[in-house]
Chains A and B, each alone.
Chain A
């Protein structure tokens, strides 16, 4: 009921698979997906293990609403220790793979050890096999997906796989499912590659039942109504996608530009949602072809784009002339504003390559951006880049760097280290726009103060999805706060962090929270599974998860000193826009945040806090 009650354990070293019952006590304490799988991980691995070694584990996990008609109920997460950060990693994806895994009868799959040779995991309902992947090792996500479906003569299979980057240890490699949806961040794909696991194919024909069918239909229908009537989820996101933010954030002076030297990009309009929906001057076609929903999603924010066939990126490459997953806001920003490139078609092509080879476009774009600054400072030269003229604004350089990183070739190997290691290598660690080794996304911490605290304290390294205070500070959801002030932000960030941890554990998409609160979500969860799920219980579970993740990082060696933003954001004031003259006020917010969390002044959860939350 909601949960299938089954966990598949795969030992890659021995090539064995076994089914075991889900720990139902933990399910009550951690709900599912992010929370529950993290509980398994922290209980089973040494926090100090090498993330790319055989002692790390990789968990694919669904939530109780995954595989149901609850809107957006198709999510899964990949949980592991991340190689980009050495911290807890938890990357969430949509598409159809997660629901299919649930239909096959599994709440989660735990992969341990390391296969002696390349294999892929094939799960068809109860049957799980490790099969030879030598024919697909060294091929792209797209080729692998096609090969597996042909091999098994089953077009209804869903495949999550790594590309060449993940096989070769690019530290921000993604796991891509359904060709263009990704468990994108923190390098979960590199962990998969380190285990010689190329892909995970799944086909499920079992059903998902819920605890109380009538209550479930009532709660999910009510929820869908709320999404449909909300301006963001009912109109903005389906029409414009997440790119609806491009112009708005830029005008708010909160768009990190050219490695955060600036906060507004003069080319933002050229790469915005509006630009995607306007016929091109070259061929009269629109970049945006249509929108696509993930499984069960009634928002449908996904972009399906087509590149101009005459554009330099694809001119002699008909294999890229079809439609595929196009630009989301974070990718458009990272590959665009942050590198100073305003060529929409080039950015779309770079996004295609990220999907085809399994790369996180945020970390990729931010790393290229940092490399561009190092290049302009003369610390990296054409000798290192292999002749690439790595100047800000050079679309051809961006594209070449993306291709090389996707295949882990040439200068792409250095870019594959991520910005923190790259900048340290060239003597300017301060130029990496990252926290805990992970690059931050598309919101400037000077222009949206809450996001500075969000990045600094995110358990998986800098991330917008752990506490999207942009919703409050920019959009007024659930209530408007001033983006330029630090007052009240500690409490705001904590509230978003705890609620989001619960949402990420339920099997639904965090974008629902533009319209839904836990008051809308708890009845859906409660009708699906046993346990009396109230908004309060979900919030408590969220806080428990947050502290559990924090303790894992603490054991992995992180301290309060790692809750730090790059010096640029703390010292160099924004030069234009509403935030002109401001730096991040992180130093004002952090002590209050620790206090609200019940942590010591050094950022360690106190015994009382851990005991209150039963972590």
Chain B
């Protein structure tokens, strides 16, 4: 099963524990400037939004890289190979989302690689704003919210019985 980070901005408090977990995992120190995930503070609109690479199926960064330093692993994750990266930054221009960035201290680019399948950010998030879920069910929680509203709006009360000619399953 392919999994992805699912972000629910409504639960974010802007504490930046995700940024610290990310930098600790990838840089061996607490350093939010080098985090692959970033929390945006829109407090004037009462919103805080974590944002990171979504692992595009057809990734601009990968296609733009002139030295093929970005490959796709078995989980669909786009991984930068430091031994191949020449620090040209073309991928940072190609990425429409800004989630590939240059690290001046190493001369390579950095991006989210889901920590090899155990993303530190989602582990560290204290409010459940960042979860790691089945990529095909990323909309589950949102659907559930709307389903709840739909349930509240219904006028019919159970128990329900099947009606002839509807959803009989015999079809053709």
Contacts and interface: CB of A to CB of B under 8 A. Distances in A.
A323 B14 contact: no
B92 to A, nearest CB: 16
A295 B27 CA distance: 19
Interface stretch (B17-25, B83-91, B148-156): B17-25
Interface in B102-133: 124, 126-127
Interface residues of B, number: 26
A594 interface: no
A224 interface: yes
Interface string B16-47: 11001101100111111110000000011111
Interface in A63-88: 67-69
A382 interface: no
Choose among A213, A296, A306 the residue with the greatest number of B CB atoms under 10 Å from its CB: A296
A457 B21 CA distance: 41
Contacts of B45: 322-323
A103 B43 contact: no
Given A224-B126, A323-B43, A295 B29 contact: no
Interface size grouping (class) on chain A:
35 or more
Interface in A274-317: 289-298, 300, 304, 306
A295 B16 contact: yes
A459 B44 CA distance: 36
Contacts of B126: 224, 228, 298
B2 interface: no
B23 A207 contact: yes
B99 interface: no
B33 A289 contact: no
B16 A292 contact: no
A298 B20 contact: no
A89 interface: no
B32 A99 contact: yes
Nearest to A321: B44
A208 interface: yes
A205 interface: yes
A69 B124 contact: yes
Contacts of A224: 126
Nearest to B105: A205
A103 B33 contact: yes
A208 B30 contact: yes
Given A296-B16, A297-B15, A298-B126, A209 B34 contact: no
A336 B38 CA distance: 38
A545 to B, nearest CB: 26
A385 B46 CA distance: 37
A156 interface: yes
Given A69-B124, A156-B33, A204-B33, A292 B14 contact: yes
Contacts of B48: 290, 292
A289 B44 CA distance: 10
A298 B128 CA distance: 12
A99 B23 CA distance: 14
Interface residues of chain A: helix, strand, loop or mixed (majority): loop
B62 interface: no
Contact of B46 (A103, A289, A295): A289
A67 B43 contact: no
B5 to A, nearest CB: 19
B11 to A, nearest CB: 10
B13 interface: yes
A487 to B, nearest CB: 40
Nearest to A100: B32
Contacts of A480: none
A300 B45 CA distance: 17
B49 to A, nearest CB: 12
A205 B31 CA distance: 7
A324 B14 contact: no
A363 to B, nearest CB: 25
A208 B29 contact: yes
B43 A304 contact: yes
Nearest to B29: A207
A371 to B, nearest CB: 32
B43 A69 contact: no
A296 B34 contact: no
Nearest to B124: A69
Interface in A146-186: 156, 179-180
A228 B124 CA distance: 13
A233 to B, nearest CB: 11
Contacts of A295: 15-16
A290 B17 CA distance: 18
Contacts of B21: 69
Interface in A204-245: 204-210, 213, 224, 228, 238
A386 to B, nearest CB: 32
A323 B46 contact: yes
A359 B15 CA distance: 25
Given A69-B20, A289-B46, A323-B46, A296 B15 contact: yes
Interface string B51-91: 00000000000000000000000000000000000000000
8 contacts: A68-B20, A204-B33, A207-B30, A207-B34, A293-B13, A296-B15, A298-B126, A323-B44
Interface of B: 13-17, 20-21, 23-24, 27-34, 43-48, 124, 126-127
Given A68-B20, A324-B44, 7 more contacts: A207-B29, A208-B30, A208-B31, A213-B24, A292-B48, A300-B15, A323-B43
Interface of A: 67-69, 96, 99, 103, 156, 179-180, 204-210, 213, 224, 228, 238, 289-298, 300, 304, 306, 322-325
